[in-house]
Amino acid sequence: MPETKIDDVKTSGGAPRREGFFSRYSMWAMTLAFIIGVGLGVVKSDSVLAVVNTYDELEIFADVLSLVETNYVEEVKSSKLVEGAINGMLRTLDPHSSYMTPEVFKEMQVETEGEFGGIGIEITIDNGQLMVVAPMEETPAWRAGVKPGDRIVKVNGAPTHEMTLMEAVRKMRGKKGSTVVITIMRDGFDEPKDFNIVRDIIKVASVKSQMLPDKWGYIRIRSFSKDTGEETARSLEELKNQGMKGLVLDLRNDPGGLLNQAVEVSEQFLKKGELIVYTKGRMPNQNMRFTAQKTVDKDTYPMVALVNNGSASASEIVAGALQDLKRAIVVGTQTFGKGSVQTIIPLKGDAGLRLTTARYYTPSGRQIQGVGITPDIVVEQPDEEKAEAEQKAKEKKPSHLRERDLQNSLDSDKLEKEKKIKDVKEPADKTKLSKDSNGKRPLVDIEKDVQLQRGIAVLKSWEIIGDMQKRQGAAK
């Protein structure tokens, strides 16, 4: 993508040279209008009006900038003012659009490589407060007890209500072994509590797998980083070699990640040519369709996908595709609802712009943004039920944070009424898990995990129905 250039507003004697700047801007606007007229044979009056209005608004901005630089009680750098104005402008959009300084832009690139320093949480912003989407498993934040939906009101004593997302990320990162204090308010807390968390190098081993009792395969995807597709393929092959009869794909508390990895994971279970996800934006190049490029797995074993309110973005894409194409039964609770596309645009001076440019849609046309994925079978975990009851009693609001709850969150084009199947609260299976056939430490505790219990029960019923159909076919 070509670098986006931004003209500097030069100053002379402490005051900005507005006349020269706006002369250049006006000439650029007129040239653009001329080019449009030549290319299309007509210039729409509303387009010209939009350019004029933008010019007027920029002139007001330049006036304010000049007044502040000249008259403010203390000397202030114009670069600081412009950066603040950019951040303010992006705050009026949605929680995921942001300006990245060169330092933050570099950190963001490191993060998507799958290894970075910090505490291991995915965060967003709601009403000026930091909100935890999900802690990454086996990271310092996860071990400290940070949970999805927690409100981070302070970082090292500094209030978060005026922080941008990237500023908060930078404050929580640091050298391995150093401590960061995050102050959290949680449903059920009488007052905010401090969490002292020791930073570590966050190595995102995004996929873990294990064979559960009775040959039910289990794959947990914790985030979608650069190698998630390959790791999933390896795990799937290992389980099949051990005689897997069915699969539980655990996407709970998975905050998402890279789109191409969500596509790679999905096509492990789909047929070549099947649509996985598509995007729609204002520009033609933002309208894209992603399909399975090959039939990776020809087996038709039963499959369940587990989700909860910490499942966001890429994990929602996978769950939505498997659900729409009837490849898996989705079990758990409503997902987060983060279905918007962010484009990373390099800027002059090694800075960057993270801008929301499109929305995701599942194969059947359902919009994820602000809605999320509704499970086929809704199963609340006991601790979630308790939090929900406490929240209703205190605030009469939903206990789980989702994308649509965020301030300035993008609305769904059309809020869909999705069919909600029976709310299952009773444990479905008390099978205990100690160690697998290889003697590995268990990844899950089936006795306490009622969502997993229900998922295994679905696989068992699937197996029974399949056996019945085979016997009926043989009888004919």
Positions marked catalytic: 313, 324, 338
The answer to whether 97 and 355 have CB atoms below 8 angstroms apart is yes
- With left for phi above 0 and alpha for psi between -120 and 50, is residue 114 left, alpha or beta? left
- DSSP β-ladder status, 129-135 and 151-155: antiparallel
8/12 Cα distance (integer angstroms): 13
Alpha-carbon torsion, ordered 36, 40, 44, 50, to 10 deg: -30
Which structure tokens are listed for 456?
A: 């295994």
- Sign of the dihedral through C-alpha 456, 462, 463, 465: positive
- DSSP β-ladder status, 377-379 and 423-424: parallel
Which structure tokens are listed for 34?
A: 């001329």
435/417 Cα distance (integer angstroms): 42
Nearest alpha carbon to residue 317 among 264, 243, 395, 387: 264
Secondary structure of residue 13 in the 3-state scheme: coil
144 — phi, psi (to 5°)?
Answer: -80, -10
138/330 Cα distance (integer angstroms): 25
Residue ranges of alpha helices (H) inside 225-373 are 228-241, 259-266, 314-324
397/391 Cα distance (integer angstroms): 6
What crossing angle do the helices spanning 228-241 and 259-266 adopt, rounded to 10°?
Answer: 20
Counting every residue written for the chain, the total comes to 476
CB atoms < 10 A from the CB of 54, how many?
12
321/361 Cα distance (integer angstroms): 9
Nearest alpha carbon to residue 451 among 272, 327, 330, 321: 330
The answer to whether 346 and 99 have CB atoms below 8 angstroms apart is no
Q: Which amino acid is at 187?
A: D
Instruction: Name the DSSP class of 112.
Output: T
Q: Which residues pair with 197 in a beta bridge?
A: 180
